[in-house]
Amino acid sequence: MDGRMAVLFAVISAFEGINSDVEVAPPPPQLAVSLGNASVNKVKGNKELGVSYFFGKKYGPWQPVISSSITAKGGAWVGFGGNINLQKGPVYFSSYFIPGLYSKGNDVELGSIIEFKSGIEVGYEFDNSSKISVGYDHRSNADLGFTNPGMESIYLRYYHSF
């Protein structure tokens, strides 16, 4: 597993902790839909649709999230994890780590049913609390399986707050 995403996630967690003495209202629940391109071993061309639900609570810097995705070739992934958001005005940066389960369908064998998804996003929040972002994520089984090619996705995501 490439440790760069884990290091980035730890750094963001540390920066979020700097403002831990400031009282912040809990985030609103959000439903997000993403469309992107998934690749394995730098072979591109597999479209991916994702749906995520961000709970309207935080545990320290962590906002719980349930996420799922399916590729055009039937590779499906679903997981539960945490998201961290850093926001300055309408612009925000977020990072997430979501352990989950993968079923290859007619897609690429990723070596294990257990796949960890970590990613980053940069986005803009509109006045009506909807958001749009561009992001990158990496899925890996952390060498738990017989092979670990990993899967990367680049996507566009839209959020709707409730």
* pLDDT in the model for residue 129: 83
* pLDDT in the model for residue 38: 93
Give every residue of the chain whose pLDDT is below 70, as ranges. Answer: 1-25
State the first-to-last Cα distance of the chain, in angstroms, to the nearest integer. Answer: 36
142: nearest Cα among 113, 122, 121, 162:
113
pTM, rounded to two decimals: 0.85
Q: In order of start, what are the domains of the chain with their CATH numbers?
A: 4-20+28-161 (2.40.160.20)
* pLDDT in the model for residue 21: 47
Cα-to-chain-centroid distance, residue 114: 16
What DSSP character marks residue 28?
Answer: P
